[in-house]
Structure 1
Amino acid sequence: MKIGAISDIHSNWVALNQVLNQPNINKVSDTYCAGDLVGYYAQPNEVIARIRKEKICSVKGNHDAAVVNSTPSSFSIHAKRAIDWNRRNLFNDNMDYLSSLPTQIRKFVNDRDLLIVHGSPKNPLSEYIYERDIDELFLEFYFDLPPDVIVLGHTHRPFVKKVNNTLIVNPGSVGQPRDKDPRASYATINLNELSAKIHRVEYDINKIAEKTAKELPRALSDRLYEGR
């Protein structure tokens, strides 16, 4: 059995639409999202509408929480402007949807214990976990009984790593990659084999960049071309 994993869409519907139209993700049993549906770009309603239409289970990310609650002072000036714009332009029913998202999902899927958080198991909204942080001590620190599969987001940098009998996957960012590869990133996970694969897909960056530049700082659009 295979599932899909996406994360960090950040109101980039153009990238999300391209990802969800890929044949390999259309063949999975379910797709899960590790948060940050909104922020940075200018299509929050379109993103949430597609997520809801496809019945993708999602957790809440720090940008989702910022739109729902208030903009953290720690955010960069461009991130703050994008959060405030997203909040002003989000439809009421989509705001309610963001508010309803849990900060973590833990469930059994095909007899595998699956955990999904945006940040870390102890700080699901805001802690960054990079590939270099993943080892046996990571599992011992965060879990009495580690799950079979952990899906993380937040860093915008994809990785797949297996420690003992636990598979840890960050699918990377759909809407704002930061690993010097501008292509949208997502993952498919084989629950039978406890393995995963990162996929990259090109999309029309010009389309979202031009739309965003009309409303938000140009720097947010420019970084998409460099994957940073």
Structure 2
Amino acid sequence: MKIGVISDVHSNSVALDAVLSQPDIQSADTIYCVGDLVGYYSRPNEVVERIREERIPSVMGNHDSAVVESTPSSFSLHAKRAADWNRRSLTERNLEFLDALPLKIREFVNDRDLLVVHGSPKNPLSEYIFKEDVDELFLDFYFDVPPEVIILGHTHHPFAKVVRDTLVVNPGSVGQPRDRDPRASYGIIDLDSLNCQIHRVEYDIEKIATDTSQELPKALSDRLYEGR
């Protein structure tokens, strides 16, 4: 059984559409979204509606929480402006959808114990977990009995790593990659072999950048071309 994993779309429906059009993710048995559907860019309604239409199970990210509730003071000026603009732009129905997102999903999929959380298992909204943080101490700190698959987001840096008998995956960011590769990032997990492949796909950056710069700081659009 194979599952697709996407994260950190950030109101970039152009990148999301490109990812969801890929044959390998279309043929996946299911897809999970690891939060931050909104924020930063100018098409929040299109993103939320596509996630809803595709019935993609999703968790809440820190930008989703900021848009639904109130923007944290820790946000950068540009992130705050984008969150506030997204909040004003979303339909009531889409805001209600975001508000109802769970902080975690933990369930058995194909007899595999799977956890999906945006940040970390104990701080699902705000803690960053990078590849170098994932080791046996990581498993022992966060779990009495670790799940077999842990899917994280938030960092915008993709990785897949096996520690003991646990596969830890961050699919990277669909809508705002930060690993100096501007292509949208996603993952395909093979639950039978406990293996994950990270994939990249080009999309029309100019389209979302032009649209965003009409409403939000140009710096948000500019960073898309460099993947930072």
Same fold (TM over 0.5): yes
User: Is there any run of 5+ residues in structure 1 with no aligned partner, and where?
Assistant: none
Partner of 1:64: 64
Query: Aligned AA for 2:188?
Result: T
TM-score by length of 2: 1.00
| Superposition map of 1:55-204 within 5 A | 55-204=55-204
CA–CA separation in structure 1 for the residues paired with 2:127 and 2:194: 25
Residue 144 of structure 1 and its aligned partner are, at CA, apart by 0.1
Query: Aligned AA for 2:174?
Result: V
CA–CA separation in structure 2 for the residues paired with 1:187 and 1:78: 28
Deviations 1:131-166 (A, max 9, x none): 000000000000000000000000000000000000
TM-score by length of 1: 1.00
Query: Aligned AA for 2:50?
Result: R
Query: Aligned AA for 1:183?
Result: R
CA–CA separation in structure 2 for the residues paired with 1:210 and 1:202: 17
Partner of 2:54: 54
CA–CA separation in structure 1 for the residues paired with 2:217 and 2:85: 11
Residue 19 of structure 1 and its aligned partner are, at CA, apart by 0.1
Runs of 4+ in 1 over 6 A off after TM superposition: none
Query: Aligned AA for 2:169?
Result: V
Query: Aligned AA for 2:117?
Result: V
Residue 24 of structure 1 and its aligned partner are, at CA, apart by 0.4
> SS in structure 2 opposite 1:179?
coil
> SS in structure 1 opposite 2:84?
helix
Residue 120 of structure 1 and its aligned partner are, at CA, apart by 0.1
Query: Aligned AA for 1:45?
Result: N
CA–CA separation in structure 1 for the residues paired with 2:53 and 2:21: 13
> SS in structure 2 opposite 1:40?
coil
CA–CA separation in structure 2 for the residues paired with 1:6 and 1:124: 16
Query: Aligned AA for 1:143?
Result: F
> SS in structure 2 opposite 1:168?
strand
CA–CA separation in structure 2 for the residues paired with 1:137 and 1:110: 27
> SS in structure 2 opposite 1:106?
strand
Query: Aligned AA for 1:8?
Result: D
* Aligned: 1:37 with 2:37: yes
Partner of 2:3: 3
CA–CA separation in structure 1 for the residues paired with 2:16 and 2:154: 16
User: Is there any run of 5+ residues in structure 2 with no aligned partner, and where?
Assistant: none
Residue 67 of structure 1 and its aligned partner are, at CA, apart by 0.3
Aligned-residue CA RMSD (Å): 0.2
| Superposition map of 1:16-31 within 5 A | 16-31=16-31
CA–CA separation in structure 1 for the residues paired with 2:53 and 2:45: 12
**Amino-acid identity (%):** 70
CA–CA separation in structure 1 for the residues paired with 2:55 and 2:4: 12
CA–CA separation in structure 1 for the residues paired with 2:18 and 2:6: 12
CA–CA separation in structure 1 for the residues paired with 2:54 and 2:98: 16
CA–CA separation in structure 2 for the residues paired with 1:171 and 1:32: 10
CA–CA separation in structure 2 for the residues paired with 1:161 and 1:56: 24
CA–CA separation in structure 1 for the residues paired with 2:176 and 2:204: 13
> SS in structure 2 opposite 1:58?
coil
Deviations 1:38-66 (A, max 9, x none): 00000000000100010000000000000
CA–CA separation in structure 1 for the residues paired with 2:104 and 2:79: 23
